[in-house]
Chains A and B, each alone.
Chain A
Amino acid sequence: MALPLRYNVRNVLVRWRTTAFTVLGIAAVVTVFVLLRGMARGIERSSGNTGDPRNILVVRKGSQAESGSLVTRDQFRTLQYFEEIARNEKNEPVISAELVMIVSAPRRGAAGEANTLLRGVTPRGMELRPQVTLKEGRWFTPGKREVVVAQRLASRFAGFELGGTIKAGPDRLTVVGHFDAAGSAFDSEAWMDADECRSIFDRDMYSSILLRPRDEAALTNLVARIQADKRLSLRAEREVDYYAKQTMTAMPIKILAGILGVAMSIGAVFAAMNTMYASVAARTREVGTLRVLGFSRFAIVLSFLIEGTFLAMLGGLLGSLLAWSVYAVVLLRGINFGTMDFQSFAETVFQFRVTPDLMLLGVLFSAAIGFVGSLLPALRAAQLPVISALKSL
């Protein structure tokens, strides 16, 4: 027969002074773990949810990021007339040759500069990215030195507010609007007119080409055709696949979360073990009494395991809630985080996300800590000889 759960719960609560420290310690471990995982999740989300599966992005063979790619005008001209490309109502091919530049800008409120991505975009390119919507101000006028920046990016850089200016070479670009890209990678970009962009940076070539094939069959066909064409030396892939690969940026944080999770949980396991050993030692007589009453050794082991796991899960719950409240504060105050994307060398803006499944993961993590930590003390409790246990003070 198993011991009632209430016995364990009340035991944990009645010895709250001893257990509080352990619970808090485990809570701290879980908070760090959940927050870091949430950060990695945020970065992955920002690039993972970018693009349209119907679009194809073309970059130079061998280049890892758009910003490091070069596409010549000849290549663009050749590509433009491929019959697989869809056409709009005006019978123009739905293809956009774009320029992606890296511009360094001063950070808001802090010392130092960071790189930002400036995209020279065409009307077709904007149609191909419907997730980008204007929030404030207006779109840029073609042929003018105007720029529209992502709202999230604007919160991290000085001079990115409406009416502010961005220095690009000898010229200054005026910020005329803010856009929102629904948490996609474009939330880390600033957009301007493609031709104007090429003229101020004195660039003859484009960086990348975004296009929409007629249908799924045309898409497969086109990708194969571009890959096979030695003359073009370009690489074509689905826009979503291209951005999915960029999630590499989240790797360092994921690794950090893993290492810290393991190292801190070792410490937490020992803390839980200590608490449970002390709890067993203080209850020697109680355990003896239970055995005399007829509870089996197995019931005792189970009882202490449950108690240790419950104790740790209290910490896990607390930690998850703590992580969530940090997230809530960040969300309410609209704070954006940024880190360097190692592929484009430009800042990626992201928002960390603490979702219910991450919180559940945190609680499970703490349960594992509690289980491992209480295994040995529980076995010890079951091994206590009944008579001497009863005699002990």
Chain B
Amino acid sequence: MGFITDYIQLQKAKLAHERAFLHLLRWFSPLVWLDYLLRLIVRRFGLSYLTFIGISALRNQRRALLTIISVAVSCALLVTLLTLQRELTVPPESEAASLRIIARNKVSLAQPLPAKQLPIIEKIPGVVAVSPFTFFGGNFREETVTSFAQFAVDPVRFKDLIVEGHIAEGTYEAFIKDRTSCFVGADTMKRYGLKIGDKMRFTGTFYPVDLDLKIAAVFQGTVDDRGVFFHHKLLDELMGDPGTVGTWYLRVASAGVANDVIARVNKAFENSSAEVRAETERAFQMGFISMLGNVKLLIGSISAVVVFTLVLVTVSTMSMAIRERFRELAVLKALGFRRTELFSFILAESFGLAALGALVGIGGAWAFWTFMDLQKMTNGFLIYFEVTPRIMATGAVVAALLGIVSAIAPSLAVARTSVVEGLKTLD
């Protein structure tokens, strides 16, 4: 406890100019500026309801600051949680994704499909293009967990599937020609500082083989610019031609026929040794979310607790603020202000403080998540983490409700107390 006594000794010995310096320090607080501004306005235009409320709210600077910060921290947390929930439950969507269908083995994704299904799928009406699509799941270089996926595809067939991708003219042909080459997402290229012509080495985790791929082309402008695609023939060769693929990747003519195509694909292999489950790319991604289990519920309930805590904190601060000014409010009452007016004073003050806190918190969270390189920070676990206007609006609505709710209890207390009682309080 020595440091505390030291501190107190220091305070005792504090000289006048040190105090003046501390006074100067005050001017770094934005709340002080706001207060000063309000006082200037009052001097110029006289006291109005608004300036009166403003000055009251800022009178106890420390409390106002603490309230604003605690609301801000909670709002930032709420926005972050909602964004996390969105990131985990709503996979990125693009228009072309609704045209694409993934067909996997009905048993599970880990079970392969026979390559001989290809001619049957091709003949199904509504199917524009189809390619094998096999998740390799290798580890890049010496990594133990590689955060981008590698897929074996049929280069010629796959070209018709990636309508939305942007590949530089001529490079895709180079990829088709060289069966040991691959094409890579721009984000992955950037992350590892790769360039065209470089080698990428993958150690298989699901497949007992390793890959040595030469980068022939780069794609960018898709919803996820991270993947690596290589020749399915290469995988077949390394595996000794097992005659299987991981999944089929299909494109249909229009979104309208997607459901029919899904039904036809499923029906085509019914009661065969490898039954198929086809679904849209989006439904397929949602399947992964379902596997995450109770995560959605978990984040939802944590958000609820955060909001609850937020309410408690603000309510307690507001009632403290009002209790401090009980006598003053009694004086106002004696001067003839009505209950509704007193209520609006309190409401405006708590609303204002909550709004300031929300502005700082939500704005801060937005800026933080927008300008941080999340993909790098979380090793590719979080990609977008987009703080949408909808989420920010949710945060703002919560803060607004908070401002209103926390004004109720103090207002009731003020309304209930008579002028004489109010003037007598010492608390």
Closest chain-A Cβ to B292's Cβ sits at a distance in Å of 5
A271 at the interface (CB under 8 A from B): yes
Question: 1/0 contact trace for B276-313 toward A, CB 8 Å?
Answer: 00000000001110111111001000100110111011
- Interface residues in A297-334 by Cβ distance below 8 A to B read 297-298, 301-302
CB-based contact A267/B70 at 8 Å: yes
- Interface residues in B54-81 by Cβ distance below 8 A to A read 62-63, 66-67, 69-70, 73-74, 76-77, 80
Closest chain-A Cβ to B389's Cβ sits at a distance in Å of 23
CA distance A25 to B74 in the complex (A): 12
Residues of B within 8 A of A274 (CB): 63, 66-67, 70, 313, 316-317, 320
- Interface residues in B167-209 by Cβ distance below 8 A to A read 203-206, 208
CA distance A30 to B350 in the complex (A): 26
- Interface residues in A270-304 by Cβ distance below 8 A to B read 270-271, 273-275, 277-278, 281-282, 297-298, 301-302
Question: 1/0 contact trace for A17-30 toward B, CB 8 Å?
Answer: 11011101100110
A277 touches which of B63, B73, B272 (Cβ 8 Å): B63
Closest chain-B Cβ to A112's Cβ sits at a distance in Å of 3
- Interface residues in A12-63 by Cβ distance below 8 A to B read 17-18, 20-22, 24-25, 28-29, 31-32, 36, 39, 60, 62-63
CB-based contact A282/B427 at 8 Å: yes
CB-based contact A21/B312 at 8 Å: yes
CB-based contact B1/A383 at 8 Å: no
B315 at the interface (CB under 8 A from A): yes
Closest chain-A Cβ to B60's Cβ sits at a distance in Å of 8
Residues of B within 8 A of A39 (CB): 298
B340 at the interface (CB under 8 A from A): no
A64 at the interface (CB under 8 A from B): yes
Most buried by B among A28, A169, A266, A267: A267
A339 at the interface (CB under 8 A from B): yes
Question: Interface size bucket, B side?
Answer: 35 or more
CA distance A302 to B7 in the complex (A): 14
Residues of B within 8 A of A24 (CB): 312
Residues of B within 8 A of A112 (CB): 286-287, 290-291
Interface segment among B35-43, B108-116, B121-129, B153-161: the answer is B108-116
A-B residue pair count with CB separations less than 8 angstroms: 178
Residues of A within 8 A of B4 (CB): 298, 301, 379
- Report the interface size for chain A: residues with CB under 8 A from the other chain: 67
B271 at the interface (CB under 8 A from A): yes
Closest chain-B Cβ to A339's Cβ sits at a distance in Å of 4
B275 at the interface (CB under 8 A from A): yes
Question: 1/0 contact trace for B73-102 toward A, CB 8 Å?
Answer: 110110010000000000000000000000
CA distance A302 to B73 in the complex (A): 29
Asked whether A28 and B320 contact (CB < 8 A) given A277-B66, A302-B1, the answer is no
Residues of B within 8 A of A63 (CB): 205-206
A104 at the interface (CB under 8 A from B): yes
Asked whether A273 and B66 contact (CB < 8 A) given A28-B312, A101-B110, A263-B77, the answer is yes
Residues of chain A at the chain B interface (Cβ within 8 Å): 17-18, 20-22, 24-25, 28-29, 31-32, 36, 39, 60, 62-64, 67-68, 70, 101-104, 107, 111-115, 167-170, 201-202, 233, 252, 260, 263-264, 266-268, 270-271, 273-275, 277-278, 281-282, 297-298, 301-302, 337-340, 345, 347, 379, 382-383, 393
Q: List 17 A-B contacts (CB under 8 A).
A: A32-B306, A62-B205, A102-B107, A102-B109, A169-B111, A169-B275, A260-B302, A267-B310, A270-B66, A270-B69, A270-B70, A271-B70, A274-B67, A281-B324, A298-B8, A347-B291, A393-B426
Residues of chain B at the chain A interface (Cβ within 8 Å): 1, 4-5, 7-8, 11, 62-63, 66-67, 69-70, 73-74, 76-77, 80, 106-111, 137, 139, 144, 203-206, 208, 271-275, 286-288, 290-295, 298, 302, 305-306, 308-310, 312-313, 315-317, 319-320, 323-324, 381, 426-427
> Which 9 pairs from chain A and chain B are nearest by CB?
A112-B290, A21-B316, A270-B70, A25-B312, A102-B110, A338-B293, A339-B293, A102-B108, A278-B320
